[in-house]
Chain A
Amino acid sequence: MIALLMRDLRLAVRAGGGFGLGLAFFLIVVTLVPFGVGPEGKILARIAPGILWVGALLACLLSLDRIFALDYEDGSLDLLVTAPVPLEGVVSIKALAHWITTGLPLVVAAPVFGILLHLPQGAHVWMVISLLLGTPALSVLGTFGAALTVGLKRGGLLLSLLVLPFYVPTLIFGAELVRRGAEGMNTETPLLMLAGITAATVALVPFASAAAIRVNLR
């Protein structure tokens, strides 16, 4: 499994595109918003938590169709299915690799982008915490969408439609956590809810993804 993780990471870094693309997209979103909304600091500060979360979510969405599609095309997904490792494990590792290549850079970059959007001082730490907690759920749910659409020729757009509603609870609690953190309110509830959603998705969704892959490769 570790070998698989290393392979996926190496592929993402070397094959170009995957790694850093999400980050660049995130930067684009953050750059575009002030042009759209206006450069006024106060407004930006108010909408910054939401914008950062939506940007992270879209950046995550952008790279989802690469999770299984390439392996499906060159046949290595069939090998992974027949490998001695349970498919649920393979899916989890794939999700982890996706998270390391797209989610983790977002977490690291979020404070910098937060400055660009005038995110209040106290909220930076909450931004990082919320993304750290929430983005794994995005990756895992993304593998489910990718698993559903793996055999399809033009699955990318469909994938977005399928996955987006699944992202709603994570987005709500993630942005809420930062907003409350920014205003110095009690952050316990959204924090626990976000952690709960992530824990539940990480524990359960790989089974659904594995089932979908088995169906698609039948």
Chain B
Amino acid sequence: MSSVDTEPGTKPPARKNKLSLRARLRRDRSLLLMTVPAVVLLLVFNYVPLFGLLTAFQDYNPLVGVWNSEWVGFDQFVALFGDSLFWGSLTNTLYLSFVQLILFFPIPIALALLLNSVLSERLRNLIQSIAYLPHFFSWVLAITIFQQMFGGAGLLNQFLRSNDMSTWDIMTNPDTFVLLITSQAIWKEAGWSIIVFLAALAAINTDLYESSAVDGAGRWRRLWHITLPGMMGVIMLMLVLRLGNALTVGFEQFLIQRQAVGHEAADVLDTFSFYYGIATNNYSYGAAAGLFKSVISLLLIWGANKLAHAFGEDGLYRR
């Protein structure tokens, strides 16, 4: 993020200082005008809701609005922390997030290495476009496809039935839910996640490979001593981002499948906030759950970034 403002082509500072603020405003008025629509939209739909977080400290009544609702301090949070459903969804979130991290994270890296070793450019581009495709499908569509393949009336069971074997419905089984959502996430996003790693691979200096090969390093040694260290920065960055998002595990994915597997398995913090906030008109309660999530998420990002720095990597921003 620190690099945002360091593009070349900056006007020389000397000239900037000569102009008064008034003159600069005059000069840049159309530039400023251009940013107005975006800023207004963000103010209304991102910054105003931040004030809406106040409802977490109220007993919000939609009839009287935020300003006139009764203030209750931390009562909502006290109720939240005494709610077994809340703890259930928190542990679910962390568990699902952890399993996804372990099973999902290495796959795009392996795929990127694999694709990168395909010599024919045309073939590589073709495979890449196919691998990217599911990323552009909606979750509704992805889950429909899974339902058709693995659901009770799906292809897998169709096959099992016709061979007189017992059927197996993974779509409605709470015990295997974690595997289900992880495989869905892999199917939908693994192909897309390789982009960043491919870029990291392309940025590695080719001379390194040549000189190490001349020195007698085989392909595995080159992979270990050149390719992987070369990717390390990006791998760490992605890991930091993933850890920072540990409390966000595919909201839509869970929302759609919650009915099928039951809330014990499928409730995560986001769906908790939706079902016990909006669906039951208990807005303050849901907002409190949302605020809890935001605060912990910020702490997680900060902590993960510190961790990245400790390993000598840049993380989200440079130290």
A, B co-complexed: no
Q: Give A residues with C-beta under 8 Å from B.
A: none
Q: Give B residues with C-beta under 8 Å from A.
A: none
